[in-house]
A and B are shown apart, each in its own frame.
Chain A
Amino acid sequence: MKPKTAVAGILAVVVALATLSTAQSARAQDWFKTGTGLGVSKARLAVPDDAARTTAAQPLAKTFHDVLWADLEYSGIIDMVSPSFYPLSVPSQPSELNGQAWAAAPANAYMVAYGNLTADASGLAFAGYLSDVHNPSAPPALQKIYRASATDADARKLAHEFADDIVALLSGGQPGIAQTQITYVSARNGNKEIWVMDYDGANQHQVTHLRSISLTPRWSPDATRIAFTCYVPYRGITSAQICIYSMPLGRLTAFPRFRGTNSSPAWSPDGSQIAFMSSENGDPEIYVANTDGSHMHRITFAAGVNTSPTWNPKTGQQMVFVSDRGGVPVLYLSNSDGSNVQKLDLPDMGYVIDPAWSPNGQLLAFSWQRPSGNYDIYVMDIVTKQLVELTRDEGRNERPSWAPDGRHLTFESTRTGTRQIWTMLADGSEPRQLTFEGQSESPNWSPK
């Protein structure tokens, strides 16, 4: 009896162990190992022409490909393979992809983005694919059908969507910026009004029609509203006030008027508060209020002008602003409740204005007029106080604003003779002019 039980017990243990080990191996997962230490490599991507399946799609295919190419090239993370290196046969769907030909010299591509366009009465459809050429048997990294109406504007939109999907895949989930917008001030129609355009300068359109002066537009964190400085007469008195424009409503939303001059609004990262300069109590100081104007309270207490607040978008716990309390306008860092103010020391004299905090909270862009020159854009590492000069000897370059990917900046520059909006990569390379008409200034990149 007893030995039998013992044997049964052992058996049970063995069975249990076997079950356990099976469970263990079933739980075991796929893994991979990678690392860093020698910098970040760019993905080498080939983007052949996209096949137009119908004749109506042919003119749109050209627009589509041009926009897609420009988006990917400017993304900052992709190394584009020159079209002259492409194999002769271009795929329009995964079954036609000859991975060997693309992987081999001279193309040496790592991935290929391709697809086909169909335009008919129902609209425009783009079947887009992104394939790893070293692994043609694996399913494409991206296969998606994009639909819109068959217009040139929508072909652009589809290209931006496809580009953003590719950038997100190749950068490990960080969204691209091809569908972002830039708001700015332009006086090309007579008055300084708020305008909005796509990040590549397309689709420029006027947003406000206040027929006065509108300045310093700032996108809300959800990119649905724009806060700006407006000069709207009220009971015969015109003074600088904070206005908020709602994009979905297409009109201004309520924000109370305050005494004195009110300007340079900035949104808190959660979108619930606005910091701005107000001379309500005489001295221009920084105040914080809810987006409906309630609970307004003062956070700076220093003689002189305190203006241009900007929140740390990552934490919302800190703020940088401009103050001339020490004689000339320079940047100060404080907690968002105004405590613990410290001057951001720079290795030279001069005016320092227009602070803009990068999306990861790590870098601060600003414009600085050193005694030896003109206003130029600089970027400072908040922790180490290391400086990089991004523009030099090309007119006045001011008012930087970060793209949500933290890889691009928009700014205003007078390098062509007139004040216009430009963008560049955050290392100062690849400057691109977006506006050409009249004078444009004070750009702000939408956070999404």
Chain B
Amino acid sequence: MTVGITSSVPAIPLPHPEVETPSRVVDNTDGLFKSEPMPLPKPDLEAVPIPKFEKEKKKPPKITSRPSKLLENPTPPPPNAVPYGNGGRPTVPVSASTFTMGNTGATSAGLIAGGAGQGDFGSRFSWYVEAVQRRVSSNWIQSAIDPNVGYAPRVTVTFTILRNGSVTNVQITQSSNVPSVDTSAVRAVEASSPLQPLPPAYSGSNVNVEFYFDYHR
């Protein structure tokens, strides 16, 4: 079928369109109302097969929140384990019978302690140790740490407290390899100077401290 405004003029033959395109507006192949597709058969609710009885297997308990790692690890620490900072009471040398390694002198890190001092500062003056911990912790400004760092290995800083409480000889003995964490640790120690003067009952002139910082955001 052709439609045109000139169709009333029969003398002029109009060319047919080369391709007859079906009208998209009018679909005259079907009726006015389209027939609905045949509905799917309703599922027969009564025909649910009874599951075969099996011996029930215990499912693993669903973990909704991650429990503390302390609870997860049931293995008790070996009796000779080196206490690794749990934020509790400070590690103190129990007696003066500690060993000396090499001749690295008084300020060497780790477990090394000379035997000539009384060697029991931490146990005699644990209140002083905790006060130092409290002060340095409160001066540890973590906001200056690179925000991309979520966790850093332990930084250990050693320093010496003189009798009047001033802090000297601050040095990193174990770096975290994250510069901003190292810097913040050293700054925390330096910002704490002067500390409380050493206890009057303590006879020595100074005390060496090994202070670690565990950073995790």
Q: Is the CB of B86 within 8 A of A38?
A: yes
State which residues 181-214 of B face A: CB under 8 Å: 191-192, 194-197, 199-202, 204-214
Decide if B204 touches A141 in the complex (CB within 8 Å): no
Which of B92, B103, B127, B131 gathers the greatest number of chain A CB atoms within 10 Å? B127
Q: Which residues of B contact A37 (CB under 8 A)?
A: 85, 87, 212-216
The segment from B8-16, B45-53, B134-142 found at the interface with A is: B134-142
Are A26 and B135 in contact, CB atoms less than 8 angstroms apart?
no
Per-position 1/0 for A80-113, Cβ under 8 A of B: 0000000000000000000000000000001100
Residues of B within 8 A of A40 (CB): 133-134, 137-138
Task: Assess whether A33 is in contact with B209, with CB atoms less than 8 Å apart.
Answer: yes
Q: Assess whether A30 is in contact with B118, with CB atoms less than 8 Å apart.
A: yes
B209 with A31: CB separation less than 8 A: yes
Interface residues on B, range: 35 or more
Collect the chain A residues with CB atoms within 8 Å of residue B132's CB: 34, 172
Residue contact A36 to B121, C-beta cutoff 8 Å: no
Known: A135-B123, A173-B194. A43 touches B130 (CB 8 A): yes
B141 adjacent to A169 (CB under 8 Å): no
Say whether A174 contacts B215, CB under 8 Å: no
Q: Report chain B residues within 8 Å CB of A111.
A: 127
Q: Which residues of A contact B117 (CB under 8 A)?
A: 28-30
Q: How far is the CA of A31 from the CA of B96 in the complex (A)?
A: 11
Does A59 count as interface, using CB distance less than 8 angstroms? Answer: no
Contact B106 A28 (CB under 8 A): yes
Give the chain B neighbours of A41 by CB distance below 8 A: 87, 130, 134
Please classify how large the interface on chain A is, using the bins under 10, 10 to 19, 20 to 34, 35 or more. 35 or more
- Chain A residues whose CB sits within 8 angstroms of the CB of B156 once the complex forms: 35
Chain B interface: which of A227-235, A242-250, A334-342, A381-389?
A381-389
B179 at the interface (CB under 8 A from A): no
Of B17-25, B27-35, B71-79, B108-116, the one touching chain A:
B108-116
Asked if residues B206 and A33 are in contact (CB atoms below 8 Å), the reply is no
A-side contacts of B136, CB under 8 Å: 36, 172
Contact A29:B204 (CB < 8 A) given known A24-B105, A34-B91, A36-B214:
yes
Interface residues of B in 115-155 (CB under 8 A from A): 115-141, 143-144, 147, 154
Interface string of A14-40 (1 = CB under 8 A from B): 000000010011111111111111111
Q: What is the CB-to-nearest-CB distance from A36 to chain B, in angstroms, rounded to a whole number?
A: 4
Let me know if A139 is at the binding interface, CB within 8 A.
yes
- A29: contacting residue among B87, B191, B200, B207, CB under 8 A: B207
A36, A39, A360, A383: the one within 8 Å of B144 (CB): A383
Contacts of B137 on A, CB cut-off 8 Å? 36, 39-40
Complex alpha-carbon distance, A43 and B126, angstroms:
12
Contact B119 A25 (CB under 8 A): no
Out of B92, B129, B165, B207, which one reaches A173, CB within 8 Å? Answer: B165
Complex contact B114–A33 (CB within 8 A): no
Could you tell me if B140 and A169 are in contact, using CB atoms closer than 8 angstroms? no
Q: Is A7 at the interface (CB under 8 A from chain B)? A: no
Query: Closest residue of chain A to B203, judged by CB?
Result: A30
Q: Which residues of A contact B100 (CB under 8 A)?
A: 25, 28
Residues of A within 8 A of B93 (CB): 31-32
Q: Which residues of B contact A38 (CB under 8 A)?
A: 86-87, 214
A30 lies within 8 A of B87 (CB):
no
Q: A38-B87, A40-B134 in contact; A32/B209 too (CB < 8 A)?
A: yes
CB B42 to nearest CB in A, in angstroms, measures: 55
CB distance from A114 to the nearest CB of B (A): 15
| CB of B3 to closest CB in A, whole Å | 65
CA distance in complex: A92, B116 (Å)? 36
Complex CA distance for A28 and B202, rounded to whole angstroms: 15
Q: Is the CB of A29 within 8 A of B114?
A: yes
Roughly how many angstroms separate A132 CA and B211 CA in the complex, as a whole number? 22
Structural contact, B116 and A26, CB atoms closer than 8 A: yes
- Residues of B near A150 (CB, < 8 A) are none
Alpha-carbon separation in the docked complex, A36 to B86 (Å) = 9
Type the 1/0 row for B65-97, where 1 means its CB is closer than 8 Å to any CB of A: 000000000000000000001110011110000
Residues B126 and A135 in contact, CB atoms below 8 Å apart = yes
Q: Is A170 in contact with B207, judged by CB distance below 8 angstroms? A: no
Write the nearest CB–CB distance from B190 to chain A, whole angstroms. Answer: 12
For B144, list chain A residues within 8 Å (CB): 383
Decide: A31 and B191 in contact? CB cutoff 8 A.
Answer: no
B134 & A170 in contact (Cβ 8 Å cutoff): yes
Asked if residues B211 and A35 are in contact (CB atoms below 8 Å), the reply is yes
Contact yes or no, B127 A141, CB < 8 A: yes
In the bound complex, what is the Cα–Cα distance between A169 and B131 (angstroms)? 7
Indicate which residue in A25, A34, A77, A141 contacts B115 across the interface (CB closer than 8 Å). A25
Contact of B134 among A25, A28, A43, A141 (CB under 8 A): A43
Apart from A134-B126, A141-B128, what 12 extra A-B contacts exist at CB < 8 Å?
A: A30-B202, A30-B208, A31-B207, A32-B208, A37-B213, A39-B137, A41-B130, A138-B201, A169-B131, A171-B134, A172-B132, A172-B133
Minimum-distance CB pairs A-B, first 6 = A28-B114, A172-B135, A37-B214, A38-B87, A35-B212, A30-B121
Binding site for B on A (CB under 8 A): 21, 24-41, 43, 77, 110-111, 132, 134-135, 138-139, 141, 168-174, 360, 362, 381, 383-384, 386
Interface residues of chain B, those whose CB is within 8 Å of chain A, are 85-87, 90-93, 100, 103, 105-106, 113-141, 143-144, 147, 154, 156, 160, 165, 191-192, 194-197, 199-202, 204-216
